[in-house]
């Protein structure tokens, strides 16, 4: 099987194996006659002297001497001498070129067929390397972190490191540079075990919710962890994700609900006007201060109200509509 248009690109345009299209009619027949084939056997080309004794040079010279051509990957037009050697070396088809240059006669169609039957990849070429060569042959490339095109060797190594063999194997089997076909290879090779998106797992969402409510997870020094560090600490604790799943599901910043996510049950403020008044104050984001001007929790507030006979103040808080600040101030002024 001849190499595909993407992996090796068409090496010979053959009719009935061994009869190149550019010999019997076709647009390039005249270009081949008289050594006018872009540099082979003509002025400015290989002429009578080989440019080198490497496999690609020898193979390209043999093709030129036999009036055959190696078409360009993109245009299917016959390549000149330098182009033939460059394409052979770039796509690493030295094995085919070496086979061709060893044929005894131009008329050896069976030998040509055998040379262009797929000899298999070189020992050091794998699916990653073939896929990268395929992209390169289409004028495309994989890129590094800065967006620069990777060299073929680096592209192949990046493929291996990322486990992209299936995608590159698909690319290596294509016979076209069609963009949709190339994208289909990429879409057909999803990451079999993708890492969780650090921005939308339970830990991250719970830490964001905590931060938006003005709370945080403390570190060993009781300093607030950043949201990212909070999420990382959560992921490191097998039991923590359940807590943060609960936090992420909260619809508001109710302290009691937040404590409940942690498994902390707030003290029961009891019943009666003191409990209702302190609850109303807390719902407005306010509190009754203690002797040190620290906020009392709802239960402690209700107990202080009962102890100090502040039921009238509590009843005033209950009557406040929509946390009206002036009305709350009036409650404190009339206590």
DSSP string for 127-155:
HHHHHHHHHHHTT---B-TTSPBPPHHHH
Q: Residue 7 falls within a domain, yes or no?
A: no
Same domain, 295 and 232: no
Residues paired with 20 in a beta bridge: 14
Looking at residue 199, its pLDDT comes to: 57
Domain boundary among 162, 187, 212: 187
Take residue 208 and report the two structure tokens written for it.
């964001």
What is the reported pTM?
Answer: 0.28
Same domain, 157 and 222: no
Same domain, 301 and 241: no
Looking at residue 264, its pLDDT comes to: 61
Same domain, 89 and 35: yes
Burial group, residue 64, by CB count within 10 angstroms (0-12, 13-18, 19+): buried
Same domain, 308 and 289: yes
Looking at residue 124, its pLDDT comes to: 52
Same domain, 19 and 110: yes
Q: Residue 135 falls within a domain, yes or no?
A: yes
> What distance lies between CA 54 and its chain's CA centroid?
40
SS3 35: helix
Looking at residue 42, its pLDDT comes to: 34
Q: How many CA atoms within 13 Å lie on the side-chain side of 230?
A: 25
Looking at residue 34, its pLDDT comes to: 30
Nearest Cα neighbor of 68 from 35, 20, 101 is 20
Work out whether the CA dihedral 171, 17, 93, 49 comes out positive or negative: negative
CA 281, CA 122: separation in Å to the nearest integer? Answer: 79
Question: Is there a contact between 28 and 78 (Cβ–Cβ < 8 Å)?
Answer: yes
Q: Residue 192 falls within a domain, yes or no?
A: no
Same domain, 19 and 101: yes
Nearest Cα neighbor of 87 from 68, 104, 71, 76 is 71
Q: Report H helices in the chain.
A: 29-32, 55-65, 81-90, 94-101, 109-116, 127-137, 152-162, 165-173, 179-187, 202-212, 227-236, 240-248, 255-261, 273-283, 298-308, 311-319, 325-333
Phi, psi of 327, deg, nearest 5: -70, -40
Nearest Cα neighbor of 255 from 314, 295, 223, 200 is 295
Domain boundary among 92, 116, 140: 116
Question: Is there a contact between 214 and 187 (Cβ–Cβ < 8 Å)?
Answer: no
Looking at residue 22, its pLDDT comes to: 39
Q: Residue 167 falls within a domain, yes or no?
A: yes
CA 143, CA 282: separation in Å to the nearest integer? Answer: 56
Looking at residue 127, its pLDDT comes to: 84
Looking at residue 50, its pLDDT comes to: 46
Domain count, the chain: 4
Looking at residue 109, its pLDDT comes to: 83
At 20, which helix (H) or strand (E)? strand 19-20
> pLDDT of 232-245, one tens digit each?
888 888 778 888 88
CA 247, CA 143: separation in Å to the nearest integer? Answer: 40
CA 52, CA 222: separation in Å to the nearest integer? Answer: 73
* Residues of the chain scoring pLDDT < 70: 1-51, 73-75, 118-125, 188-200, 264-267, 335
Q: Residue 1 falls within a domain, yes or no?
A: no
CA 101, CA 53: separation in Å to the nearest integer? Answer: 11
Same domain, 157 and 230: no
Q: Residue 277 falls within a domain, yes or no?
A: yes
Residues paired with 120 in a beta bridge: none
Domain boundary among 74, 92, 116: 116
Same domain, 96 and 151: no
Same domain, 18 and 108: yes
Same domain, 100 and 39: yes
Q: Residue 194 falls within a domain, yes or no?
A: no
Same domain, 91 and 28: yes
SS3 200: coil
CA 103, CA 115: separation in Å to the nearest integer? Answer: 9
Q: Residue 82 falls within a domain, yes or no?
A: yes
Burial group, residue 265, by CB count within 10 angstroms (0-12, 13-18, 19+): exposed
Question: Is there a contact between 97 and 55 (Cβ–Cβ < 8 Å)?
Answer: yes
Domain housing 137: 127-187
């Amino acid at each position: 099987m001849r190499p595909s248009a993407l992996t090796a690109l068409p090496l010979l345009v053959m009719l009935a194996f061994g009869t190149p299209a550019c010999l019997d009619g076709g647009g390039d027949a005249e270009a081949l006659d008289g050594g006018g084939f872009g540099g082979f056997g003509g002025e400015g080309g290989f002429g009578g002297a080989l440019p080198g004794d490497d496999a690609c040079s020898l193979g390209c010279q043999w093709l030129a001497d036999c009036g055959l051509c190696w078409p360009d990957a993109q245009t299917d037009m016959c390549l000149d001498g330098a182009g033939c050697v460059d394409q052979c070396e770039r796509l690493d088809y030295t094995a085919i070129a070496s086979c061709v240059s060893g044929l005894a006669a131009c008329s050896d169609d069976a030998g040509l067929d055998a040379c262009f039957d797929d000899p298999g990849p070189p020992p050091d070429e794998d699916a990653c390397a073939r896929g990268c060569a395929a992209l390169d042959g289409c004028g495309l490339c994989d890129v590094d972190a800065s967006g620069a095109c990777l060299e073929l060797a680096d592209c192949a190594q990046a493929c291996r490191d990322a486990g992209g063999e299936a995608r590159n194997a698909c690319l290596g089997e294509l016979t076209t540079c069609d963009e949709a076909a190339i994208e289909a290879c990429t879409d057909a090779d999803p990451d079999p075990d993708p890492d969780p998106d650090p921005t939308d797992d339970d830990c991250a969402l719970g830490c964001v919710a905590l931060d938006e409510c003005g709370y945080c997870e403390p570190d060993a020094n009781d300093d607030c962890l950043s949201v990212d560090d909070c999420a990382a600490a959560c992921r490191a604790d097998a039991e923590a994700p359940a807590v943060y799943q609960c936090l992420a599901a909260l619809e508001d910043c109710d302290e009691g609900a937040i404590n409940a996510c942690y498994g902390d049950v707030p003290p029961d403020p009891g019943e009666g006007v003191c409990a209702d008044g302190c609850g109303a104050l807390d719902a407005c984001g306010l509190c009754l201060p203690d002797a040190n001007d620290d906020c009392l929790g709802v239960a402690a507030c209700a107990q202080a109200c009962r102890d100090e006979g502040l039921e009238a103040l509590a009843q005033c808080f209950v009557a406040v509509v929509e946390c009206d600040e002036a009305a709350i101030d009036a409650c404190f002024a009339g206590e």
